[in-house]
Amino acid sequence: MRSPHSSRALVVAAVSAVVLPLGVSTAVAGERPPDRPGDVPAAESRELRVSVVSSRPDAVSGGDALVRVDLPPGVRPERVRVSVDGEDVSGDLRPTDGGLLGLVDGLTPGGHTIRASARGAGTGAVDVTAHPGTGPVFSGPQEEPFVCETAEFATVTGQVLGEPLDEDCSVTPRVEYVYRTTAGTFQPLADPAALPADVATTTTLEGVVTPYVVRVETGTVNRGVYEFAVLHDPGEGVDPSPFARNRAWNDRLVHTLGGGCRGGWYRQGAATGGVLVDPMLSRGFAVASNSLNVFGNNCSDLLTSETLSTTREEFIETHGVPTYTMGWGCSGGSYQAHQAVDAYPGLLDGMVVGCSFPDVGFATSQKLADARLLHHYSTVTAPAAMDEAQELAVAGFGVHAAIANQSTGAQRLDPQAEFDPSVPQEERYDPQSNPDGARATVWDHTRNAYGVDPRTGSARRPLDNVGVQYGLQALADGTIGIDQFLDLNDRIGGLDTDAGVVADRMSADPLARRAAYETGRMLDGGGLADVPIIDYRAYTDDLPVGDIHMRYHSFSTRERLIEANGDADNQVMLVEDDTLGLFSPDSPVLVSALEQMDRWILAVQATVGSGDDRHDVVVAAKPADLVEACFAPDGTKIVEEQVYRGDTRCNRLYPSFASPRIVAGGPLASDVVTCQLREPSQGDYPEMTDGQWAQLRDVFPTGVCDYTRPGVDETGRQGTWAFFDAPGEWTFHEPVA
């Protein structure tokens, strides 16, 4: 991908790693990927095979693409002619392992054909679709306003990027060096050829011993700021070619995905997910990230998937093809990893996620909306109706303070509540003074998926609580009485489109609901079947002030995996206390997970192509020492299957709680937007008087939720690689063969 403000050298012969198009796993660097069942190997055919190895051919961005031509035996590289739309570009490709490789540039936005021909061989070709380096690629029309923050972005050496070069927030890429000191800190390094006395030495996973010097590139792509960090090979010289094979790099890439959500819209962001991660760099991993892969800057799974695609493409065009790409992130980072793999297969080959949730728009947002309604009921509508123990039983949380805490979290559903200070006041939505202004909600930030309501100009909203019987389990347990249950459900109300509490319950927009299920905004789980997943959790359910990162969310994801795939055997859960923080690289458990995920992905890649079911291959390749466990506060490892309910040692240490919707009878999977309704039955409740029964029928005039049936319009994801042309309009581009 070429920035308009930078130039790239040709890929030299030293770049020999190979990758299949996105949607098919990569092979070990330097080796040809095994052919898939049904393919005719190039060695057995007489056809040239042309492929884009930096991205999907229909998702090329930035005007250039790393292209490979595989040659049948007997065809000499110098006899091959490569052209783009008939124009000869053969000089851009150089001989490499079994073929030609090179960076083809000059690809203007639109369609192109890259063709290779040679005497004695069949012509090969690939059609590509190029997109601007500033985006969009598949996420649809870009959001406006969009605030550039390059002037606030400090690089790893403390230098500020400065004012942007254009309205797309671009900067000129820069390369800097840092080194790890013997005292365990990163420090700027002006000249990598002149090493200071206190430079540390590291040994990579490949056994390479090297001075601990890191090359970091910072630039912009897709309107976000990217960072790439790679161990510097001292053999490369002071100014190494970015395309030379780096002896210190272990050929694996970790993409860090930052957390957050609140305030994550209409801005570029002044930080990435972080690339100076010692446990990764010291082992030889390259680390990449982008400011738009931080959910606190950009709370849209759709845009983060696109940014992951374009950032990965830029990395490949700079450093060569990695053996694999691992996703690494907590909270908002888990949203990104789960949803990118599920809806855009091929972007990540495995993931280590922490403090996780299935998806941003449903499992979390539904819980927060319900908490807002319960908090309003108990503090405004009927403050004396229940005591704290009863309110907690209705909410399902671990501590009472979590009700108010998660009600505050519902500000991400409020179009006025949470803007980053960088977004000008005059650009923001106000129902009176600026009704057409930018709206600060999860739905509006991803309006290209959900669509726009023509009556209001706001995003269509897939939020619903019609028929939900709040506190149903608390009633069954005898914690609350019939009259309390009836009053709660009669007066709990709903949230209007401005997140104000109103008397009427919420009804999901049917078009938004359809988009949620069909395009993968609601995590389906089927796309996750073919990748290794380590779900790490630093336990916070019992924090006195409450915390959004509740453990049951991991089991919600597990339930969806089971529903989609029949099992969740490719997901491994690890749990410990939060002494070191939510997702700290200082945690030995998490560092071990990094190494185990590395071995797991490599084992999958060594087996794939055998003709076995991919999911079975992933499960069988799991390292023997990677087992589900929790860790006691003293560090004792307790090996046992992690379960949502049950009297286990881990559950006694780290119990899972619930959400208001689960207490109301909803599924643990938290995947129902709008429930199917049925007539209430008196046998489902404690004994009622005739008056109470009549009141219940009045409270639920259209019926109560029937969670034994799928939700309204509930269906599996209808395809992958959805390209959005306009709000609410999409087409699926299936995995590249």
Are 58 and 733 a contacting pair, CB within 8 Å?
A: yes
For residue range 331-349, list pLDDT tens digits in order. Answer: 999 999 999 999 999 999 9
Residue 17's pLDDT band (boundaries 50, 70, 90)? very low
pLDDT in tens, 140-190: 999 999 999 999 999 999 999 999 999 999 999 999 999 999 999 999 999
Residue matched to tokens 């992933």 = 618
Fold of the domain spanning 49-131: Immunoglobulin-like (2.60.40)
618: Cβ contacts below 8 Å, ≥ 6 apart: 529, 530, 531, 532, 570, 604
Alpha-carbon distances of 126 from 312, 313, 450, rounded to whole Å: 21, 17, 33
Secondary structure (H, E, C), 516-567: HHHHCCCCCCHHHHHCCEEEEEEECCCCCCCCCCCCHHHHHHHHHHHHHHCC
Report the percentage of the chain scoring pLDDT > 70. 92
Tell me if 303 sits within 8 A of 290, measured CB to CB.
Answer: no
Quickly tell me which residue has 């079947």 as its tokens. Answer: 529
pLDDT at 608: 73
DSSP string, 160-226: B--S-SSTT-----EEEEEEEBTTS-EEEES-TTS--TTB-EEE-TT--EEE-EEEEEEEEETTEEE
Strands (E), 546-679: 571-577, 629-631, 637-639, 677-678
Look at residue 11 in the predicted model and tell me its pLDDT. 30
Integer angstrom CA distances of residue 674 from 199, 661, 665, 667, 702: 59, 12, 13, 12, 13
Per-residue pLDDT of 237-257, as tens digits, reads: 544 443 567 889 999 999 999
**Per-chain mean pLDDT for the chain:** 92
Mean pLDDT, residues 80-105 taken together: 93
pLDDT in tens, 465-476: 999 999 999 999
Question: Residue 618 has what pLDDT?
Answer: 96
Kind of pairing between the strands at 252-257 and 224-231: unpaired
Three-state secondary-structure class, residue 600: helix
Q: How far apart are CA 530 and CA 607, in angstroms?
A: 13
Q: Considering only residues 624 and 245, tell me which one the structure prediction assigns the higher pLDDT.
A: 624
How many residues make up the chain in this entry?
A: 737
Q: How confident is the model at residue 595 (pLDDT cuts 50, 70, 90)?
A: very high
Torsions phi, psi for 480 (to 5 deg): -120, 160
Domain regions of the chain by residue span: 49-131, 363-519+662-674, 527-653
Q: In 49-189, at which residue ranges do the beta strands (DSSP E only) sit?
A: 49-52, 60-61, 65-70, 81-84, 87-88, 93-96, 99-104, 110-118, 121-131, 174-180, 186-189
Residue 234 has a pLDDT of: 80
The closest alpha carbon to 570, from 636, 521, 525, 523, belongs to 525
Q: How many CB atoms lie within 10 A of CB 311?
A: 28
- Spatial distance between the Cα atoms of 501 and 82, rounded to a whole number of angstroms: 63
Tens digit of pLDDT for each residue in 460-502? 999 999 999 999 999 999 999 999 999 999 999 999 999 999 9
Q: Is the pLDDT of residue 452 over 70?
A: yes
